[in-house]
Amino acid sequence: MSRLLIVDGHAYAYRAFYAIRELRAPDGKPTNAIYGFVKMLEKMRAAVQPTHLLVVWDGGLSPARVSAWPAYKAQRPEMPADLRPQFDGISAYLAAAGVAEFCEPDCEADDVIASLARREAAAGRMTVIASADKDFMQLVSDRIGLLNPGDAAGTIWTDENVRAKTGVAPAQVADWLALMGDAVDNIPGVPGVGPKTAAKLLQEFGGLAEIYRRLDEVKPERLRNALREAAGAVQRNLALVHLPDVPVALPAEALVPRPVQREKLAGLLQAWGFRGLLAALAAEPVERQQNLI
């Protein structure tokens, strides 16, 4: 079956950077994020066996979200100085390895990933999103799965996994996040409402609209009053966590991995001092090099 793997680029670059604390090329330049990214991509590709593959980068914060909530993601620290220059190296690696990458200016990677996943799933292609971002749980369906880097088992999450993690169905995840908020994105939820309370409310009432339509039925009174006072914030949160469709000028054929540029890739690995990866490339039969990451 045709299968697309979409990788949340910045999320994996950061994860690689912090997972490998110190690694430098012979010239002294940092390479820990590059090496970690390459190894994680290699592992994901082996596990998913995609026919189509794309790395998506953040193009900046969504102007609409920042306008709705100026504090949106405002607490995030500056990118580490040693990480910033490694993005060019990762892009050079992807180009040599034949892997497509994409970045839409002033558009968050989440929205691009969601739009592509829906588009390709509608076309009949199984899509796997590689990211730890819980917002993506709202997309899970029979044709869209999640590969969480924090899951050592490498499980591709389905509806069942989302329900086990959150207590709600994928279609309710946006409502669940709107109620409890998201500290990672600096979105405050309803005071006193955490994951379990939010899930219990949605299990009982089905969705936000029904919760507020039947607000007088919510117990205890403290919770009912908190929901009433936070009604405006909850609707704002729903708009913040929803992943809208955005135009993505990237045809499906552009997602098919291209043949590896052997000499270019070998030169990069040599320059970075990645001797193990260089040896693996040299040992790989030419006819199989298009499968290398």
For 150, counting Cβ atoms within 10 Å of its Cβ (0-12 exposed, 13-18 middle, 19+ buried), the class is: exposed
Instruction: Assign 116 to helix, strand or coil.
Output: helix
DSSP codes, 54-67: EEEE--S--HHHHH
Q: How many domains does the chain have?
A: 2
> How do 181-182 and 156-157 pair as beta strands?
unpaired
From residue 282, give the alpha-carbon distance in Å to each of 133, 277, 292: 36, 9, 11
Burial class (CB within 10 angstroms; exposed 0-12, middle 13-18, buried 19+) of 202: buried
Residues 133 and 92 in one domain: yes
CATH number where 137 lies: 3.40.50.1010
Q: Are residues 256 and 237 in the same domain?
A: no
Among 224, 241, 258, the domain boundary falls at: 241
| 124 and 191 share one domain | no
Residue 220 is part of a domain; what is its CATH number? 1.10.150.20
Q: Are residues 232 and 248 in the same domain?
A: no
Other Cβ atoms closer than 10 A to 78: 6
- Rounded distance between C-alpha atoms, residue 240 and residue 221, angstroms: 27
pLDDT tens track, the chain, 293 positions: 799 999 999 999 999 999 998 999 999 999 999 999 999 999 999 999 999 999 999 999 999 999 999 999 999 999 999 999 999 999 999 999 999 999 999 999 999 999 999 999 999 999 999 999 999 999 999 999 999 887 778 899 999 999 999 999 999 999 999 999 999 999 999 999 999 999 999 999 999 999 999 999 999 999 999 999 999 999 999 999 999 999 998 999 999 999 999 999 999 999 999 999 999 999 877 655 444 44
- Domain enclosing residue 90, as ranges: 3-165+244-291
Question: Do residues 249 and 210 share a domain?
Answer: no
63 and 181 in a common domain:
no
* Residue from 118, 130, 124, 134 nearest 246 by CA: 118
Sequence length of the chain is: 293
Q: Based on the domain organization, do 7 and 39 belong to the same domain? A: yes
Q: Which pTM was predicted?
A: 0.93
Residues 178 and 270 both lie in one domain: no
